[in-house]
Amino acid sequence: MFDETLFQDSRAGVPFVDILKKQGILPGIKVDTGLQPIDGTDGETATQGLDGLAERCQKYYQQGARFAKWRAVLRVDNEVLPSSTAILENAHGLARYAQICQANGLVPIVEPEVTLGEGDYSIERTAYISEKVNSHVFRLLNEYNVILEGILLKPNMILPGLDVPTPAPEEVARYTVRTMLRSVPGAVPGMVLQFKNPSVSVQPNALRISEFHV
């Protein structure tokens, strides 16, 4: 949900949050304020929104929100992207966001997205970068004393560049699960996988991922 939606009422004057709760749905809120270019990089971005976040989280919790979402976007290519600067900048933002959310009663959804884009980089390259990004994110989450049992992770599926033929669902599942097992601590209670590539069948991947999970 966006900020304005959380505070809206129905035509009958019933708060939207109350309508959701009656349906057994816990409301969540997007708390980042978008992407900002990082100076000195090749068009890479860092997610903004830490200023005033504690006060906003208090307000969101009072309104009925129980979880929050913050998305970091990291571009990948064959050689240099993402840069160490972009990885560290976004890992810091995710960790501080999670710390602030937990301090104010919200469950943070941590979303370090290694974004799918043009290029002929391999699925192995995406897996390597995703492991590297996750490792930095969880290092900083630990440094900021974030309770890992109190977060959810929203990772990307492991896919090659858009100029590479679409891999078989079994290969996508194998690389995705391997990446998570290598770089996500067992204390994390749950993950919400992103299915953003229309050329990859969601249902077969979901089934295959459950088969590979150990």
Confidence of residue 83 (pLDDT cuts 50, 70, 90): very high
* Catalytic, out of 69, 89, 131, 154: 154
Q: Which residue among 111, 132, 149, 170 is the active-site one?
A: 111
| pLDDT per residue as tens digits for the range 55-70 | 999 999 998 999 999 9
Tell me if residue 30 is catalytic: no
User: Which residue(s) pair with 74 in the sheet?
Assistant: 114
pTM, two decimals, is 0.88
* Mean pLDDT (whole number) for 73-95: 95
Residues 74/44, Cβ–Cβ less than 8 Å: yes
Grade residue 155 by pLDDT with cuts at 50, 70 and 90. Answer: very high
Q: Got the DSSP string for 70-139?
A: EEEEEE--SSSPSPHHHHHHHHHHHHHHHHHHHHTTPEEEEEEEEE--SS---HHHHHHHHHHHHHHHHH
Q: Are 38 and 89 in contact (CB under 8 A)?
A: yes
Domain parsing of the chain, residue ranges: 26-212
For residue 214, is pLDDT > 50? no
Distance CA 140, CA 86 (A): 14
Is 211 considered catalytic here? no
The tens digit of pLDDT for each residue in 180-205 reads 999 999 999 999 886 655 555 545 55
Q: Which fold has domain 26-212?
A: TIM Barrel (3.20.20)
Predicted pLDDT of residue 199: 52
Distance CA 37, CA 56 (A): 24
Provide the mean pLDDT of the chain: 89
